[in-house]
Amino acid sequence: MLSEKMQDLMNSQIQAELYSAQLYLAMSVYSESENYKGFANWLKVQYEEETSHAMKFLNYIVERGGTVELQAIEAPPVKFGSMLKVFEEVYAHELKVTALINNLYTVALEQKDYASQIFLQWFIEEQVEEEANSSQIVAQLKMIGDSVGGLFQMDHALGHREK
């Protein structure tokens, strides 16, 4: 059985994961409207990942005999600027999610909730990957600068990301 504190934090994490999904979907739509279909694809795949993360938390709460309490999700922005700005926001957002996951793990340690520690380990590893991927894209976009050819190539490459 989950403690009330852990259940509440995990319900908040579901909200955070669903907001992440909405944010990435909004960024995908924006990218597509700017004719960056590859960037849009990458962000749409990210949207699907974040939705699956929310479902992992939801299922875990249920498996541990807890109560899922879905919370309202704030509407994401509609416009984001350049692709560099989009991915700087992606990276910053992933840092926030990492902090939330780390906090959950800290509480699991404090409460000697071993099952939650094991469950959260997957998310800790996932956040390392999320931060690395988004920071790499930011670094590449900074190298490209205003090069239309560079943006075209990167857009093409990101269009090949699969689910």
Q: pLDDT (tens digit, 9 = 90+) per residue, 112-149?
A: 999 999 999 999 999 999 999 999 999 999 999 989 99
Written as six digits, the tokens of 143 are 């190298």
Q: What is the DSSP string of 42-79?
A: HHHHHHHHHHHHHHHHHHHHHHTT--------PPPPS-
Name the band, by pLDDT with cuts 50, 70 and 90, for residue 84. Answer: very high
Domain residue extents for the chain:
4-158
Q: Domain 4-158, what fold? A: Ferritin (1.20.1260)
pTM of the model: 0.95
Residue 67 identity: T
Phi, psi of 27 (to 5 degrees): -65, -35
Mean pLDDT of the chain, nearest integer? 97
Is the model's pLDDT at 163 over the cut of 80? no
Quickly state the pLDDT bin for 94 (edges 50, 70, 90). very high
Band (70; pLDDT cuts 50, 70, 90): very high
CA distance 161 to 36: 14
- Give the mean model confidence (pLDDT) for residues 13-28: 98
